A and B are shown apart, each in its own frame.
Chain A
Amino acid sequence: MYIGSMFSRELIAASARPLLLSILAEGESYGYALAQRVRQLSQEQVQWTDGMLYPVLHRLEEEGLIAAEWREAENGRERKYYRLTRDGRRALEKEKAQWLAAHHTLTQLWNPKPVST
């Protein structure tokens, strides 16, 4: 799913789940828009191979974290729209807590507070 230049493959793969859940927490969306939103949010640093986005969405759907339905878009073509479920919101909260904890831990190591003498 990753063609990112700055992020490692593993990091992009690991962050795909919280990223998608977080974007869908903003409101329902469809695949192409989700990929665009990731590009925009990461300022092009996370660049998806767009097709790889769908297996992740498929997995989230199987887990009941998101729901999907086909609808006709304003351009007349059909699109699959995804939205977050209640379980998805709970999963997102867990993901947030884990990523923030990791972030907090690393921040302490990398940005040590100056020691007053």
Chain B
Amino acid sequence: MESQTRFNLDQAVAAWRKELASHPGPGSEELRTLEAHLRDGFAALQGGQLSDEEAFLIARHRVGPARAVAGEFAKTAAPSWWRPRVFWVTFLAVFGAFIAYDLFCMRMYEATASLVLTPLGASTPSSAQNTNSDGAMSASAIAFNTEILRMEAREIAERVAVLMSEQQRQDFLAPFGGADAADPHTSLVNRLLKQRWAFPGRLAYLIAVSVEHPNPHIAAVVADNFVQAFIEIQKTRIPASWGYEVLDHAPGHVLATEPKTLLLIIGGLFSGLMTAVAATIVARLAWYLRRPAPPVELAS
């Protein structure tokens, strides 16, 4: 009787609920449902020969061990359809992202123009001039790097901006939101610097400039302008101090874009496969760690 007066059902239910909630699985709705069940069980047992505390212990016992009950809820917590298909779901999501990127991103065309220099005094560029007996770069090849840096200089982009017609400037900037009204020239030059890159063919004293743009014609024109600008600026130098002359130059031409699509497909397949394998391992590990305790045989 003494024990009965001390027993507080609400406190006991709160403690039980806290224990259940400490396991992953049941949400607030499930806890509410289980509490209603526990109280029903308690009410059914109450009033007999059992004390309130005994009735509560039996009702709680019938609901089951907290870990096992929570574990069963954990199994239903996530939608069950994807669990056995985690590999394919992940693979398709990643691969789909690559394909969507390829389909919906701004399709860029790459145009390349190039020029061939020759050191003053030499009739044709020769690999022998550019490498020593060990095949290492000679001093002249290292000096050639300066020409690449010159091609990459802002001065060249400034000149390209001047060479472009007003229509070409507008067409060039249109896909990137147009020119900055406050300073259209600077915004054009900055964009030109972003869209181009130069790379050397050291053995042949070749400098190639590639320009990326959604409009292949504009890409080709701008690439060509970079080469023209380089030639114009170098012509203003004293030939002896420059040390080179322009032997030849190739106008801008557009490279095919298919290789990029193919690369994206291959990249998507590879990334999708790797991510799917990783997701499967993580899912299995998570399942292993969160697996419910084996059902306990309880005497009724």
**Chain A residues in the interface with B (C-beta under 8 A):** 1-3, 5, 9, 30-33, 35, 44, 47, 49-52, 54-55, 58-59, 62, 75, 77-80
Distance to closest chain A CB from B18 (angstroms)? 15
B69 and A59 contact, CB distance less than 8 A: no
B76 and A32 contact, CB distance less than 8 A: no
Q: Say if the beta carbon of B88 comes within 8 Å of chain A.
A: no
A58 and B295 contact, CB distance less than 8 A: no
A13: nearest residue on chain B (CB-CB)? B295
**Which residue among A32, A59, A78 has the maximum number of chain B CB atoms within 10 Å of its CB?**
A32
Distance to closest chain B CB from A83 (angstroms)? 15
Distance to closest chain B CB from A88 (angstroms)? 17
A51 and B295 contact, CB distance less than 8 A: no
B69 and A49 contact, CB distance less than 8 A: yes
**Chain B residues in the interface with A (C-beta under 8 A):** 30, 32-34, 36-37, 39-41, 43-44, 62-65, 68-69, 72-73, 75-76, 80, 295-298, 300
Interface SS of B by simple majority: helix
B39 and A77 contact, CB distance less than 8 A: yes
A78 and B72 contact, CB distance less than 8 A: no
Residues of A within 8 A of B72 (CB): 1, 51-52, 54-55
A49 and B295 contact, CB distance less than 8 A: yes
A32 and B295 contact, CB distance less than 8 A: no
Residues of B within 8 A of A55 (CB): 72-73, 75-76
Residues of A within 8 A of B65 (CB): 49
5 extra interface residue pairs, beta carbon distance < 8 Å, beyond A51-B37, A52-B64: A9-B295, A49-B64, A49-B68, A51-B63, A58-B76
Distance to closest chain A CB from B291 (angstroms)? 14
B300 and A50 contact, CB distance less than 8 A: no
Query: Given contacts A32-B41, A32-B44, are A51 and B34 in contact (CB under 8 A)?
Result: yes
B298 and A49 contact, CB distance less than 8 A: yes
Residues of B within 8 A of A75 (CB): 43
